[in-house]
Every structure is written in structure tokens, then in C-alpha cells.
Amino acid sequence: MCTRFPPEPNGYLHIGHGKSICLNAGIARDYGGKFNLRFDDTNPVKEEEEYVESIVEDVRWLAPEFTAGPLFASDYFEQMYQWAEELIQKGLAYVDDLSAEEIRQYRGTLTEPGKESPYRYRSVAENLDLFRRMRAGEFPDGSRVLRAKIDMSSPNLNLRDPVMYRILHATHHRTGDAWCIYPMYDWAHGLEDSIEGITHSICTLEFEDHRPLYDWYLDQLGIYHPRQIEFARLNLTYTVMSKRWLLRLVQGGYVSGWDDPRMPTLSGLRRRGYTAEAIWDFAERIGVAKANSMVDLGLLEHCIREELNVRAPRALAVLHPLRVVVENYPEDQVEEFEVPNHPQRPELGTRPVPFSRVLYLERDDFMEQPPAKFFRLAPGREVRLMNAYYLTCVGVVKNAAGEIVELRCTYDPTSRGGVTPDGRKVKGTLHWVSAAHAIDAEVRLYDNLFLKENPYDVPEGQDFTVNLNPESLKVLTGCKLEPGLATAAPGDRFQFMRQGYFCVDSKDSRPGALVFNSTVGLKDTWAKIQQQPE
């Protein structure tokens, strides 16, 4: 078993490529085979070194232990050229002087057969001479091509004498100016697979029509013949995967770059806090088939939640702070509570969290006039501060505009640790942070980039921007975090209790000026209840 992932280095990898990488690398893993990362770098005008670097990084991140390479199609150019001469010798390829426009016209249409080029029956010697001179750089771009001689009346347009080589006086990111003719995908791909001994050449559905050509080249050459198998590419709700649209998002400044945490790119997901394991899990759950489908984004989110639930240490963080004064708590007293890093995994230990008279609570955890099912804090109501004390609201302080600016509360000294001697129960348990000890941080809350399940569904005459979610990014400043988070390093992941999973941004976070990205929220039953029409 030998598989490969053959990206063209002309863009960043996204979750759809992730599916392909997991599929191919997974086969190699499961059957003890090989998996090659091979760049299909046959078009110098579109390809750049920047892209190969990002792709190598992404593939190594996803499948480090299975990946061989990087390999490059451009390393096989000489061999490909020799094989092209071989086809010419066999009378199976010819140099065509028709212009691009003429070739298009001669190709016919979906329903009408094509016409043969007047240059189709040149002698082998003339073809060889011309092809060598193409390589030598004697002709300008677009003046001639090498074509396979197959069947101009084939119902499969790919078989109507496909172009094998075009003249391109362009500098290649790896071969420099060594070549001025470059092989076309159909000609090159099977050869690359054959050279590497690929057994299963797995590609997406749109190449199904190309398979007869893939087979034809290999058969005519009589070289090792891998088998091409197609599968449906991934579509995700609320997400775009086309290079064109992704590029628009980046170039239009709708996102901060290819690795913006809202992007479905592997680098974006990584920066968002996704793990390689979660992406593998996702890839395995969605399966592989030939039916076009659209996978629910919720499944991807489920995968990362499930993993982070197990591995992410918990932390207390107040995103929308509301000041709370505990009136009966001594003015200058500070005590520390030992808080478990993970309630379900005691082996992860505890950490000290300071408590004092002035605290911050989440604004959403208080309602002056609570509806029926609200069981958090309200005037006269008692709740538990997680791992600390029971707290009762005794007063509300408002500003001139009538906005709540502070809560006055009392605590039950006998409830230390969050349990009372009388064993009385309380409905709500809230996260909190000591005002005097909290550290400030910026928190970036992300939502889907698009409002529609299918962002490509744009009303007639309108721009794709109508589907953009104006609230896909919310930057919160002045968030209050427990002091232990001060030493969090870029990439570190936490569960902010009762809220969701967050990671320290790998680009913008600095010690003393931390920036957290929301990876995914916790499931929120309360939000669901609130949305129900009463």
C-alpha cells in the first residue's frame, strides 16, 4: 500500500485537504504502507515557496509519523520529458502549432465531435525536432504545444488530443530557469504516481472523467500502473472551501490572513485551538463516499469539544465582568482555595485561587427580574461561587443611566469550599474571580464567518458579502482572569468554566497582555431555553 497527498503549492490547506490527508495517511497507517507528501508543482506561474512551507507545516502537524517527503513532481521533469519523447517515437504524440483559441475551437463541444489539427500527422522526426527545440527555448510562449494523439471525436473531452506540454518561459520555484516547457496535470500525475510506486491514487470526483486519460498514458508507456480512485470532497455548513473564496476573504481584508482563527484552513483551525487529533476524529466520523454532501459544522465542533473536555485544564475567567462587593467579608482578608484543575481527573492536581471582598461575576449570571427557569443570581437569591462560598445578593447599585454597575452581596462563612454544614442545596454555581488579584486579558470570540448554511447561495445580482456574518469576531477587552493564567504560553488550551474552550493566541499574545481565542463554546442548555418562544 502506498498513497500520497499531492497538493499544488498555490494556496493554503483547508479542512477539506485535511480530510484527504487523513484518508491517505490513514490507509498507510492501517495497512503498514507508505504515505508521500508530494507537491504537484507543474505550473510555475501559480506556485510559490511560501505555500510549500505552509503546506509542509500543516501536513507534518496532522500526520507527522506517517509522512514521507516532501517530494516534488519537478524532480521528475527529466524523466517525464524522456517519456514524452518515447510517445512521440511511438507516433502517439505530436507538436501542434495551433493557437490556444484554435485548439479550443477544434475541440468541438459537449455534443459535437472535435476536428483533427492540421499538424496532427507530422512525421516522428519533425515532432522530435520541434519538441526538442521547444525545450531548448526556441519558441515563444503559446506558440506550440505537445499533444497526445488519441481521439478527437471521443465523447470524453479529455481524450480529444489533450495537451501534454506547454511553453512557459517562467521561473519555477525549485527548478529555476532550467525548463521553459512544463507538463500538464493529466500527463504528469500518473507518471509521478508511477515513479513513486503509489498503489492507490486517491483524488476528488471531478477527476473521474480524467481516469481514462490517466490510464491511457500509463498503458502506452507500459510502466507501473497505479489505480486512481475518486471520492467526494468535503463541504461544511457555514463554510467555504474554494480557493477563490478563501482568497477573496484574505485579499478583501474580511479576515486577518490565511491563519485567521475563523478560516477553515488548517493553520486557522490550529490557531483557533483545534488539535490534530480532533481533525482525525472528524475525518474518520464523516467517512468517505462518492455522494456530494454537506457535513454539519456541529460535528467538527463536537470533535474538538470531546477532546478538549478530556485534556484541557479548567480555569476561572470572567468575560463580561460585573463588580460584586461581599459586604460581610472582612476588608483586608484574602484566602486561597485549592481548586481542581479538572473535576473529573483528580490526577491533574489543584491550584490556589485567591478570594477576597471584591469579586467579579459574569454579567449574564445576574438578572434583576429573573424568568422562571433562571437559576443563577438575583436579588435575595443564594448561589454557590464555585469552590468558594455561598453568596446571596442583597442589593443592586445602578448608575444615572439605570445600568447595573455593582452588586452588594453577603456570603455564608460556614459554606467554605462550597458546601454548607446543613447540606442545603442551591440551584446555581457560578464562576468568579477576585478583583484585586485578577489579571486583565483580551478575549476574541469567534462565530461562523457566514450566516447561511451554504454561503455560495448568493441572491441574484448580489455580492458574496451579503452572506458574511458581521459578528463573526467580537473582541473583548478587560476580561478578568484568575491570576494563575498569567503564565499561560502561546497555544495553551483551557476550559474557561461554564463558558467554553480557549487558547492563547500564537501571534498576538504577550506576557502581561494576554490574548485568548475562543475555540468552541460549551453546549449551552440555558441559551436554548431562552430561545424557546414562550
Partner RNA sequence: UGGGGCGUGGCCAAGUGGUAAGGCGACGGACUUUGAAUCCGUUUACCGUAGGUUCGAAUCCUACCGCCCCAGCCA
Site for RNA in 92-151 (CB under 7 A): 98-100, 103-104, 107, 109-111, 141-145
User: Is 243 a residue of the active site?
Assistant: yes
Binding to RNA, residues 60-99 (CB under 7 A): 98-99
Cα–Cα–Cα angle for 78, 80, 84, rounded to 5 degrees: 115
Which of 157, 334, 397, 486 touches RNA by CB under 7 A? Answer: 157
Q: Quick check: 432 and 358 in contact, CB under 8 A?
A: no
Minimum CB distance to RNA smaller for 163 or for 476: 163
Q: Catalytic: which of 107, 120, 132, 233?
A: 233
Q: Quick check: 43 and 182 in contact, CB under 8 A?
A: yes
- Terminal Cα-to-Cα distance of the chain (whole angstroms): 59
Q: Is 252 in the site for RNA (CB under 7 A)?
A: no
* Grid cell listed for 509: 499574545
Binding mask 432-471 for RNA (x = CB under 7 A): ----------------------------------------
Binding to RNA, residues 298-337 (CB under 7 A): 298-299, 302, 305-306, 309, 314
* Grid cell listed for 484: 494563575
User: Is 528 a residue of the active site?
Assistant: no
Give me Rg for the CA atoms of the chain.
31
* β 227-231/93-96 pair status: unpaired
Binding mask 467-496 for RNA (x = CB under 7 A): ----------------------------x-
Q: Catalytic: which of 46, 104, 133, 243?
A: 243
* Grid cell listed for 475: 473582541
Burial of 481 (C-beta count, 10 Å sphere; 0-12/13-18/19+)? buried
Binding to RNA, residues 359-388 (CB under 7 A): 373-376, 384, 386-387
Give the interface segment with RNA, choosing from 19-27, 473-481, 504-512, 517-525 (CB under 7 A): 517-525
Name the maximum alpha-carbon separation found in the chain: 102
Binding to RNA, residues 281-300 (CB under 7 A): 285-296, 298-299
DSSP 219-267: HHHT----EEEEEPPP-BTT----HHHHHHHHHTTSSSSTT-TTS-BHH
Minimum CB distance to RNA smaller for 183 or for 261: 183
* Grid cell listed for 495: 476550559
User: Is 8 a residue of the active site?
Assistant: yes
Query: Least distance to RNA from the beta carbon of 234, Å?
Result: 9
Give the interface segment with RNA, choosing from 171-179, 268-276, 479-487, 526-534 (CB under 7 A): 526-534
Minimum CB distance to RNA smaller for 38 or for 444: 38
